[in-house]
Amino acid sequence: MGFYSQVIVPWFLDWTLDRQVLNHHRRELLSEAKGEVLEIGFGTGLNLSYYPPEVQKITAVDPNPGMSTRARKRIQASGIRVENYLMHAESLPMADNSFDTVGSTMTLCSILHLNQTLREVYRVLKPGGQFLFLEHGRSADPKVQVWQDRLTPISKALGDGCCLNRDIRQFIGEQPFVTVALRNFYLEDSPKFAGYMYQGAAQKS
């Protein structure tokens, strides 16, 4: 992992993802978090200030050491205890049925082995636990899909693997969650090819 991934990408993500419109949806999503919480793709800690007061500890997973460096100040300011794992989410060291909540925001677009990661999310959730997600992905509009397919190679190169055209609904639907509450919308401040959103909660049986 080189200079671009460890230095430029964390700075770029802070700049592009710390926005009022997106943060409104973070707060809405993470208000449902409770109990033992795991966050995959913790990044620079942008979600920390949007967890409810009841969340006192977060187990965080991210493979990029540059993200951890930028997250340190947010962790210190939040008052939430963060146990940070520098690793990919495709193979988690946590035991089965460990967490009440698993959270993911703007992360599933760039995970290489997404099906394996979602299997791990399901495995570590307690029965009745929820996977909360806020992700961008493939639009329902065929005209937008054309541009997403065209621009994804550029997005992957500049965004450290970020795919514009992943069908998040399909990936989550391939796991044995008992219910998936999902809504789709376009972010007001983003072009449609980058701002088609999937916000929801998937519950383990």
Residue-wise pLDDT for 110-164, tens only, equals 999 999 999 999 999 999 999 999 999 999 999 999 999 999 999 999 888 999 9
Domain 3-203 homologous superfamily, CATH: Vaccinia Virus protein VP39 (3.40.50.150)
User: Domain residue spans in the chain?
Assistant: 3-203
Residue among 25, 28, 30, 85 at smallest CA distance from 54: 30
Residue 166: closest CA among 102, 114, 203: 114
Rounded distance between C-alpha atoms, residue 100 and residue 87, angstroms:
21
What distance separates the 2 farthest-apart alpha carbons in the chain?
A: 45
pLDDT of the residue at 112: 94
In angstroms, the first-to-last Cα distance of the chain is: 38
d(CA 126, CA 142): 38
Per-residue model confidence (pLDDT) at position 192: 97
- pLDDT recorded at residue 69: 82
Predicted TM-score (pTM) of the model is: 0.95
Looking at residue 5, its pLDDT comes to 85
What pLDDT was estimated at residue 7? 87
- pLDDT at position 1 is 64
Q: Grade residue 205 by pLDDT with cuts at 50, 70 and 90.
A: confident
Beta-sheet pairing, 125-136 with 81-86: unpaired
**Per-residue pLDDT reduced to its tens digit, 9-53:** 888 888 899 999 999 999 999 999 999 999 999 999 999 999 999
Distances (CA, A) of 45 to 40, 120, 153, 187: 11, 21, 27, 21
